[in-house]
Amino acid sequence: MGPPHPPRERADAARNRRKVLDAAAALFAERGVDAVSLDLVAAEAGVGKGTVFRRFGDKSGLAAALLDEREQQLQRAILCGPPPLGPGAPPVARAAAFTRGYLDYVFDNPELVRMSETASPGARFRIGAFRFWHQHLAVLLGEAGEPAARASVLAHALLAPLAAEHLLAQLAAGAQRADLVDGLVRHAELVVAGC
């Protein structure tokens, strides 16, 4: 029989979800994430506040939903895209390509990523995509010869400086995006090559 299929989303629920996401994206781009409330998003989308709260919970849930599509694109590229981001390249090259790809993702959506990572203590580590990024790096470190327990710790060490809060603080302190990318890519290369 196979596993049960998840229930299909009702057409009206799917339309409302899309209206809320479109309204949130437009408002966040226009006013900034911090200046937008869920009440405002609901009004802009033409739905009730309860619809937004039930579907997304809070602003960080809305941010996570907006980020989901971009995260899936990066995940697909890692799993089946061309090397060096996808399979077929040595671990050092793949770790460097992942770092570049992840930084592009964060720099394209810095406030949304920051909010999704800092909504509550430990929020970053509960995001499903974070677990995927961590596992990917741990596997690359294992391929480079690192024992599994240490690979897990090193994967966290590679992801720590990629946190949006850290990146935004660096930019606010005067760092240039290109320098941040180059430095963090080099860091990933050194860690993975050192295994």
Domain with CATH 1.10.357 in the chain: 67-193
Give the pLDDT confidence of 130-153 residue by residue, as tens digits. 999 999 999 999 999 999 999 999
**Distance (Å, rounded) from C-alpha 149 to C-alpha 134?**
13
Which class for 167: exposed (0-12), middle (13-18), buried (19 or more C-beta within 10 A)? buried
The sign of the torsion formed by the CA atoms of 105, 149, 154, 141 equals negative
Q: Which fold would CATH assign to domain 67-193?
A: Tetracycline Repressor; domain 2 (1.10.357)
Q: Give mean pLDDT, residues 79-91.
A: 97
Closest C-alpha to 117, from 155, 51, 109 = 109
Q: How confident is the model at residue 29 (pLDDT cuts 50, 70, 90)?
A: confident
Range scoring the smallest mean pLDDT among 120-129, 133-142, 169-178:
120-129
For the entire predicted model, the pTM comes to 0.81
Q: What pLDDT is attached to residue 10?
A: 80
Q: 1-57: what CATH class?
A: mainly alpha
Q: H/E element holding 81?
A: none
Alpha carbon 10 to its chain centroid, in Å, reads: 27
Q: How confident is the model at residue 195 (pLDDT cuts 50, 70, 90)?
A: low
